[in-house]
A and B are shown apart, each in its own frame.
Chain A
Amino acid sequence: MSISRRIIAVTAFLILVFAVIPILIAVSGRKDFYYTLSSVALLSMASAGVWLTFHIGRINIGQGAYALMGGYVSAILVMSYGVSFWWTLPLAGLFCALASILIGLPILRLRGVYFAMVTLVLTEVARLLALALPVTQGAKGITSIPVEVFGLTLVPDFTMMENPRIAFYYLSVALMTACFALMHRLVNSRIGHICMSLQQNEELASSIGINIAQIRVIAYAISSFLGGLAGAVFVAATQSVYPSSFTVADSINFMLNCFLGGLGYVFGPMLGTLVLYFGWNLLFETGRFQLLIYSALMIALMLVLPNGLLSLGTLRKER
């Protein structure tokens, strides 16, 4: 894409999410869409992290663990230590990144289905820990997280706005935009190429002097940072966190979002999350057939478009 076309695309995207969508919502009166779209934005950030681990050749079905961890870190910091919500966002991300380094060092040696299985278990371990640890307050979770502890004046005070949902919408899409901008830069820089070399052949990568253990841990830490950050905002938006806030099903969805959008495209997780989230909700009408139809559609899509929805664009170009 040429530079000018890229500027047009970015501008169009910004106008769409920051102006057009809020106007449409105001006109249609469907205020619930603020919550829905904030969720999509946050979930797509967590999925972007999963996508990055795919990029180094690892199937990550454990992002739910970090989303849950980030959520609890933020909730506990706000409730028990009176830390400003704004500070808890980076802190939750960093906490998850550090935890993922400790966890990643041993498990990132595993490949393929072995790594996938361990990460799947990780989500369940996180849930059980949240049930068992005293700080997380067990099954009843942490609730009524106040929205009024925002001390920083640089950023809008949520309570001052007529509808905190709108504030969370702007916060979520702003974070999502930043996240995907950084991901885009990362993937198109030499770091992205190094990640790709790991995905394609780790032995060859180390034979040309790449410290594969280091790159794997860095990618996984960035991934977990995004998961923790998304979890923290999500918890603030819902003002509560429970051990079941993020479960194995969520971890699987993060992965499916990447598949659906396309593993070869950095914006794949964003589109995948949007389509999957709305697709699932639309299928709600079908009642008890919801899961059946959903699964059949997913399988069909993977057969028809193994490289994801975004491959539709390149397919047309190749013809």
Chain B
Amino acid sequence: MTFLLEAKGMTKRFGGLVAVNNVSFGVGAKEILSVIGPNGAGKSTLFKLISSFLRPTAGEVLFRGERISDLAPHIAARKGVVRTFQETTVFRNMSVRDNVIIAHHLRSKASLLGYFFATRQAKEDEAAFGRSADEILGFLGLESIAGETARNLPHGHLRGLGIAIGLATDPAVLLLDEPFAGMNHDETMKAVAMVRKLRERGLTILLVEHDMQAVMKISDRIVVLNFGQKIAEGTPSEIQRNDKVIEAYLGIEDEAIGL
């Protein structure tokens, strides 16, 4: 199998701490791959490495066979690898719709000067971004809050908006860091269905999540991290039966993982 995105020997040190230690795995096109592990296992750090927000101490990330580590984050995004944030990160003082519109940046055809002088291309861009933003908000069921200022939104909607912003960049690979955190059961199930729909749109999805029920339901494959190291990789049923995983992770924090 050829991978769309491949992490090879990824290592990240923070001073004496090895947050991510020689982790390798690959993701195929249109796959949903989850990264799980206890708090502090290095999951978010791994995502930041993949999306070029951090430089690896060692190792590299290949996207469509091309090395994307060491690029600036906006260049990685331009190539199609886009992350969302673990914390609910949105443009707080903009409306929901403006949040999504601004996130269409990578689809701009007009130049900055073009936007200043409102050239025909710039106007076309803006009209297209507006339409696309409405489509994305509709797809995520957020159209009713399009006019709200983001800082006034409840937590669940903020998560949704975070994903909407990610989608607006039209990524090939979307990295979702704990998209279901703070959601109740019903909301989570809706969000799971939504992530499936994303895949049907042709996206490849990497997911960090603590909600084990959701992870088992949604993932094609799972990578398990513990203390920065990959301790297992496989399908949900393989992971659930894996002794190392049960010992290092599942066995200890019974309640936290909801099994």
Q: Which A residues have a C-beta under 8 Å from some C-beta of B? A: 185-186, 189-191, 193-194, 196-197, 200-201, 203-204, 206-213, 218
| B118 at the binding interface (Cβ < 8 Å) | yes
Question: Do residues B122 and A190 form an inter-chain contact, with CB atoms below 8 A?
Answer: yes
Distance of A80 Cα from B30 Cα, bound (Å): 68
Are A200's CB and B116's CB within 8 A? no
CB distance from B75 to the nearest CB of A (A): 8
In the assembled complex, the CB of B64 is this many whole angstroms from the nearest CB of chain A, namely: 17
With an 8 A cutoff between CB atoms, is B92 at the interface? yes
Give the CA-CA distance A196 to B98 in the complex, in Å: 11
* Residue ID in chain A nearest B106 by CB atoms: A209
CB distance from A282 to the nearest CB of B (A): 35
Given contacts A189-B116, A191-B116, contact A208 B72 (CB under 8 A): no
Shortest beta-carbon distance from A6 to chain B in Å: 15
Taken residue by residue from 106 to 118, chain B's Cβ proximity to chain A (1 for < 8 Å, 0 otherwise) reads as 1010001001101
With A191-B115, A197-B91 known to touch, is A204 a contact of B165 (CB < 8 Å)? yes
B83 at the interface (CB under 8 A from A): yes
Kindly state the separation between the CA atoms of A218 and B112 in the bound complex, as whole angstroms. Answer: 10
CB-defined contacts of B82 to chain A, threshold 8 Å: 207-209
Q: Which of B84, B116, B125, B169 contacts A209 (CB 8 A)?
A: B169
The answer to whether A207 touches B85, judged by C-beta atoms less than 8 angstroms apart, is: yes
Q: Please, which residues of chain B bring their CB within 8 A of the CB of A206?
A: 53, 72-74, 77
Residues of chain A with a CB closer than 8 A to B116's CB: 185-186, 189, 191
12 contacts between A and B (CB under 8 A): A191-B116, A197-B91, A200-B94, A201-B90, A204-B85, A206-B72, A207-B169, A208-B77, A208-B103, A209-B169, A210-B105, A212-B74
Given contacts A189-B118, A193-B102, A207-B82, contact A201 B74 (CB under 8 A): no
> Do A200 and B106 touch across chains, with their CB atoms under 8 A apart?
no
Complex contacts, A191 vs chain B, CB 8 Å: 112, 115-116
Contact of B106 among A190, A193, A201, A208 (CB under 8 A): A208
Closest to B118 in A: A189
CA distance A259 to B204 in the complex (A): 46
Query: Shortest Cβ distance from A48 into chain B, in angstroms?
Result: 16
Contacts of A193 in B (CB 8 A): 94, 98, 101-102
B39 within 8 A of A: no
Closest to A185 in B: B116
* Residues of A with C-beta under 8 A to B92: 200-201
Q: Which of A189, A196, A209 contacts B78 (CB 8 A)?
A: A209
A207 to B101 CA separation, bound complex (whole angstroms): 14
Within the assembled complex, what's the spacing in Å between the Cα atoms of A172 and B101?
A: 38
The residues of B that contact A201 with a CB separation of less than 8 Å are 89-92
Given contacts A193-B94, A209-B82, 18 further A-B contacts (CB under 8 A): A186-B116, A193-B102, A194-B102, A200-B93, A203-B73, A204-B91, A206-B77, A207-B51, A207-B73, A207-B74, A207-B82, A207-B169, A208-B106, A208-B165, A208-B168, A209-B74, A210-B105, A211-B74
- Are A211's CB and B85's CB within 8 A? no
Other-chain residue from B74, B93, B94, B118 in contact with A210 (beta carbon distance below 8 A): B74
State whether the Cβ of B126 lies closer than 8 Å to any Cβ in chain A: yes
Q: With CB as the reference atom, state the residue of chain A lying closest to B126.
A: A190
| Cα A56 to Cα B120 with chains together (Å) | 27
6 interchain residue pairs of minimum CB distance: A209-B106, A209-B77, A190-B115, A208-B103, A206-B73, A200-B91
A201 and B87 CA atoms in complex are apart in Å by 12
